[in-house]
Amino acid sequence: MNDHIRRNMPLFPISIVKKLTELSARQIRYYEEYGLVFPSRTEGNQRLFSFNDVDRLLEIKSLLERGVNLQGIREIFLLREHNTSKTAGPPMRRDGDLTDLELRRHLKNELVYTGKYGRTSLIQGQLSRFFD
DNA sequence: TTTCTAACA
DNA sequence: TGTTAGGA
């Protein structure tokens, strides 16, 4: 049994995830509805989160605190999936280490993009200061 | 008792 | 996001 299956094994109910992440059940369910996490379900339709799900939720929480909104987080996750799946080799980066360098480039582009087309910015408040 | 969905004084 | 109703 490798790490992958281990990290994705459905283990804890929302009550445990609440404690682990310090997020409200409302938030956890909302983030799922938004497509940021996809916990499996029990026969009784109750959510069962994997270690990976908890990890993602912690990252979501962290990014939200840094001023990134849900749409931004969604894109960050999409970007990671696009270049994490190709890395089947040894240097598989975990956690939020993708972030620093690539996240900065991405966020900066978002600022430029939103500035050009006047759409709702993906970045809120002070975060934009990191890119002057 | 815990969790689920849906909806909003 | 919080909170609550009503059911499983």
Nearest nucleotide (C1') to the CA of residue A61? C1
For residue A24, pLDDT beyond 50:
yes
The total number of structural domains in chain A stands at 1
pLDDT of residue A107: 56
A79 is a domain residue: no
The rounded distance, in Å, linking the Cα atoms of A79 and A131 is 20
A123 is a domain residue: no
Nucleotides of C under 7 A from a protein CB: 1-4, 8
A50 is a domain residue: yes
For residue A51, pLDDT beyond 70:
yes
For residue A28, pLDDT beyond 50:
yes
Nearest nucleotide (C1') to the CA of residue A25? B3
For residue A76, pLDDT beyond 60:
yes
Buried b (16+ CB within 10 A) or exposed e, A43-81: eeeebbbbbbbbbbbbbbbebbebbbebebbbebbeebe
User: Gap from A30 CA to B8 C1', in Å?
Assistant: 16
A91 is a domain residue: no
